[in-house]
């Protein structure tokens, strides 16, 4: 590998660390809420808002970050992103109230919304055509590695939080979980000083010689010459291009592929992926395996994501987009239905010995519950909250459910891991690949922007309502709904999803616009 190629790979890796921080932030909160929720005595809506508020802020950042980077430059905005990540980590760790916690997390949301838009843009602008796809894919890989690092961090910090520990307690362990993010955020900030400005942005700002110098440094003189010609030709073409309007996406020639893209964008989120990621520890607690095992299962979940993301990278150009997506969505539906079945078979009963074994519980308050069998998790949790109060129940939920739950926890674990595996090789990465391929060049940016916004809104909505669903609909019904949605999505996409593998963008434009 040539020196210039190594330099390009290094730059792509540094810039996509924003994706790592997104994954880390998203993964870490599943462990945090096991402690921060009870400490601030949060209700379902408040818990949902703490988890989902970064996604809400990210929607705003996605709308403005592209335009801001056109004005001040990609690199400056990425430096702001790294700073906001660091600021969010510090403020979150020192949060003194519910309001301070969600505001701190929204600051982080502004960062990852901008990062998810700008990192692929910047990487594409410093890459050559031959390695652009591989380099941009580093972003998705960094996201899943961030999830893995977060779940691993949560697991070890939870293991260190013992009754004999004076360093980590229930009141401080979640602050360390959030504060650890400061380390990769600072690393990201300082490493960004080693990446150049985007040569394409420099061309747009008429800083031609600086842009040419960077391209020569990255690709060598010969390759840089063809890249310079390509950029100059593209800028000339764009300067004469008519501005497109959002309503043009639903005109007859584009309506079909816009509907396909919108279906993919919505389905990717409403099948429950971010409910699983953001609430993984809470979900595993519901199976009765206990708090420690729930944290360990989170590590297994994130490792599964990493493995099957590599599977997607390996198969996407061999197997094709359509079969990969349809196979994955069918697997998602079956996995969610399996989880619903497992939870539906659960029963809940506390014996006197089990109550006495949990030191934080007052047996006198549970006299009407001890020995009684509950067929529904909703009824059991409602009775426990009425007897103990929501804060005491929330603090001890893992231990209570571990003692009371009688169910096949392995069945649910298989269902969750099956869902994660199927998502990681289908809807996760393949959706974005198809969105980049289906639309004519003139409309591509607008279409992906609109679908990305709807995708982010769907993500925020699922995160916000998931705690309410568990409390009011129950575990079984919640997962059954996700399974049914995936099943409906499978039949819709089986009917309408095109195959884009092995076709040039021009061929796809002629074929899909005609359709």
Residues 427-431: what's their mean pLDDT?
A: 82
Q: Residue 240 above 60 pLDDT?
A: no
Residue 216: CB atoms within 10 Å: 18
pLDDT of residue 2: 46
As a whole number of angstroms, the distance between CA 370 and CA 348 comes to 10
pLDDT tens digit sequence for 83-113:
999 999 999 999 999 999 999 999 999 998 8
pLDDT of residue 171: 87
As a whole number of angstroms, the distance between CA 389 and CA 41 comes to 10
Q: Residue 50 above 90 pLDDT?
A: yes
DSSP assignments along 375-419, one per residue: S-HHHHHHHHHHHH-HHHHHHTHHHHHHHHEES-HHHHHHHHHHH
Residues 207-234: what's their mean pLDDT?
A: 73
Q: Residue 1 above 50 pLDDT?
A: no
**Domains defined along the chain, listed by start:** 1-195 (1.20.1250.20), 252-346+417-515 (1.20.1250.20), 347-406 (no CATH)
Percent of residues, the chain, with pLDDT higher than 70: 87
- Mean pLDDT for all residues in the chain: 84
Q: Residue 229 above 90 pLDDT?
A: no
pLDDT of residue 513: 60
pLDDT of residue 274: 83
Residue 278: CB atoms within 10 Å: 26
Confidence of residue 508 (pLDDT cuts 50, 70, 90): low
pLDDT of residue 244: 67
pLDDT of residue 332: 96
Residues 208-237: what's their mean pLDDT?
A: 72
Q: Which residue did the predictor score with more confidence, 239 or 120?
A: 120
pLDDT of residue 26: 84
Confidence of residue 321 (pLDDT cuts 50, 70, 90): confident
Residues 16-43: what's their mean pLDDT?
A: 89
Using DSSP, state whether 127 is helix, strand or coil.
Answer: coil
Q: Using an 8 Å Cβ cutoff, are 463 and 274 in contact? A: yes
Percent of residues, the chain, with pLDDT higher than 90: 29
Residues 316-334: what's their mean pLDDT?
A: 88
Give the torsion sign (CA, 500, 141, 422, 378): negative
Q: Residue 506 above 60 pLDDT?
A: no
The pair of three-digit structure tokens given for residue 199, joined into one six-digit string:
């040569």
Q: Which residue did the predictor score with more confidence, 202 or 178?
A: 178
């Amino acid at each position: 590998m040539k020196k210039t190629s190594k330099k390009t790979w290094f730059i792509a890796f540094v810039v996509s660390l924003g994706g790592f921080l997104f994954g880390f932030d998203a993964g870490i909160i599943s462990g945090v809420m096991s402690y921060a929720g009870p400490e601030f005595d949060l209700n379902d809506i408040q818990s949902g808002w703490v988890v989902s508020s970064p996604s809400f802020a990210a929607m705003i950042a996605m709308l403005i970050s592209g335009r801001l980077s056109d004005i001040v430059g990609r690199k400056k905005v990425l430096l702001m992103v790294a700073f906001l990540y660091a600021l969010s980590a510090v403020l979150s760790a020192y949060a003194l109230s519910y309001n301070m916690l969600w505001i701190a997390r929204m600051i982080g949301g502004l960062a990852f919304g901008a990062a998810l838009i700008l990192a692929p843009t910047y990487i594409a602008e410093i890459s050559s055509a031959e390695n652009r796809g591989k380099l941009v894919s580093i972003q998705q890989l960094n996201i899943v590695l961030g999830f893995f690092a977060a779940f691993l961090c949560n697991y070890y910090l939870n293991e260190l939080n013992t009754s004999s520990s004076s360093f980590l307690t229930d009141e401080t362990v979640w602050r360390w979980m959030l504060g650890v993010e400061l380390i990769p955020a600072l690393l990201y900030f300082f490493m960004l000083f080693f990446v150049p400005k985007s040569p394409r942005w420099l061309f747009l700002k008429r800083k031609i010689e600086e842009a040419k110098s960077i391209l020569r440094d990255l690709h060598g003189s010969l390759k840089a010459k063809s890249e310079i010609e390509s950029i100059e030709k593209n800028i000339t073409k764009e300067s004469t291009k008519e501005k497109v309007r959002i309503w043009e996406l639903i005109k007859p020639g584009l309506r079909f592929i816009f509907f396909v893209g919108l279906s993919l964008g919505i389905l990717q989120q409403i099948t429950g992926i971010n409910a699983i990621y953001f609430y993984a520890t809470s979900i595993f607690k519901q199976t009765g395996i206990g708090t420690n095992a729930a944290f360990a299962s989170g590590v297994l979940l994130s490792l599964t994501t990493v493995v099957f993301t590599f599977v997607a990278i390996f198969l996407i150009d061999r197997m094709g987009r359509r079969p990969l997506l349809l196979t994955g969505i069918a697997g998602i539906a079956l996995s969610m239905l399996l989880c619903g079945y497992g939870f539906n078979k659960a029963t809940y009963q506390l014996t006197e010995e089990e109550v006495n074994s949990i030191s934080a519980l007052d047996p006198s308050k549970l006299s009407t519950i001890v020995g009684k069998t509950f067929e529904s998790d909703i009824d059991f949790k409602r009775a426990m909250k009425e007897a103990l109060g929501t804060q005491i129940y929330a603090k001890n939920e893992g231990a209570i459910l571990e003692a009371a739950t009688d169910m096949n926890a392995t069945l649910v674990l298989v269902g969750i891991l099956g869902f994660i595996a199927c998502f990681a090789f289908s809807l996760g990465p393949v959706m974005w690949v198809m969105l980049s391929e289906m639309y004519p060049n003139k409309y591509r940016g607008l279409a992906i922007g609109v679908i990305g916004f709807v995708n982010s809104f769907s993500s925020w909505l699922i995160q916000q309502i998931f705690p309410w669903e568990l409390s009011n609909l129950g575990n079984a019904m919640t997962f059954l709904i996700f399974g049914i949605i995936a099943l409906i999505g499978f039949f819709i996409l089986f009917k309408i999803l095109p195959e884009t593998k092995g076709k040039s963008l021009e061929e796809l434009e002629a074929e899909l616009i005609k359709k």
